Amino acid sequence: MRIANVVQLGIKELRGLARDPMLLVLIAYAFTISIYTASSAMPETLNRATIGIVDEDQSPVSSRILTAFYPPYFTVPRLISPPEMDSRMDAGLDTFALDIPPNFQRDLLAGRSPAIQLNIDATRMSQAFTGGGYVQSIVTGEVNEFLDRYRSNEPLPVELAVRARFNPELNKSWFGAVTNVIASITMLSIILTGAALIREREHGTIEHLLVMPVTPVEIMMGKIWSMGLVVLVASAFALVVVVEGLLRVPIEGSLALFLAGTALQLFATTAMGIFLATVAGSMPQFGLLLMLVLLPLQVLSGAITPRESMPEIIRTIMLAAPNTHFVILAQAVLFRGAGLGVVWPQLAALLAIGLGLFFFALRRFRSFLG
Do the domain assignments include residue 333? Answer: yes
Quick check: is 285 in a domain?
Answer: yes
Which of 238, 225, 289, 258 has the alpha carbon at shortest distance from 3? 225
User: CA of 106: how far to CAs of 98, 141, 293, 316, in Å?
Assistant: 18, 18, 60, 58
Q: Are residues 136 and 8 in the same domain?
A: no
Is residue 159 domain-resident? no
Please indicate, yes or no, if residue 171 is contained in any of the structural domains: yes
Question: What is the total count of domains within the chain?
Answer: 2
Q: Tell me how far apart the alpha carbons of residues 255 and 64 are, in angstroms, rounded to a whole number.
A: 53
Do residues 100 and 242 both lie within one domain? Answer: no
In this predicted structure, what is the pLDDT of residue 133?
A: 85
Which stretches of the chain drop beneath a pLDDT of 50? none
Give the gyration radius of the chain's Cα atoms: 28
Listing DSSP states for 140-199 in one string gives HHHHHHHHHTS---PPPSS-------S-TT--HHHHHHHHHHHHHHHHHHHHHHHHHHHH
- Residue 160 covered by a domain: no
* CA angle at 200 for the pair 196 and 204, rounded to the nearest 5°: 175
Examine the domain organization and report whether 125 and 202 are in the same domain. no
The CATH number for 70's domain is 3.40.1710.10
- Residue 119 host element (H or E): strand 117-120
Question: What is the C-alpha separation between 348 and 211, in angstroms, rounded?
Answer: 37
Task: Give CA–CA dist 369/358, Å, rounded.
Answer: 16
Q: Domain boundary at 94, 113, 148, which?
A: 148
Q: Say yes or no: 260 and 135 in one domain.
A: no
Amino acid identity of 311?
P
- Partners of residue 79 on adjacent β-strands: 53
Decide: 142 and 65 in contact? Cβ < 8 Å: yes
Asked whether residue 174 falls in the same domain as residue 293, the answer is yes
CA distance 315 to 296: 12
What pLDDT sits at residue 154?
A: 63
Give the structural domain span for 78.
51-148
In a domain, 323, yes or no: yes
Whether 158 is in a domain gets the answer: no
User: Quick one: 284 and 335 in the same domain?
Assistant: yes
Rounded to whole angstroms, how far apart are CA atoms 123 and 119? 12
265 with 350: CB under 8 angstroms?
yes
- Indicate the residue among 93, 120, 148 that finishes a domain: 148
pTM: 0.76
3-state helix, strand, coil in the chain (%, to 5): 65, 5, 30
Burial of 7 (0-12, 13-18, 19+ CB in 10 A): middle
Residues 112, 239 within the same domain: no
* Same domain as 179, residue 255: yes
The verdict on 284 and 183 lying in the same domain is yes
> Does residue 153 sit within a domain?
no
Distance CA 202, CA 10 (A): 19
For CA atoms 25, 28, 33, 34, the dihedral sign is positive
Whether residues 264 and 304 fall in one domain: yes
**In terms of domains, do 177 and 264 share one?**
yes
Write down the pLDDT at residue 161.
79
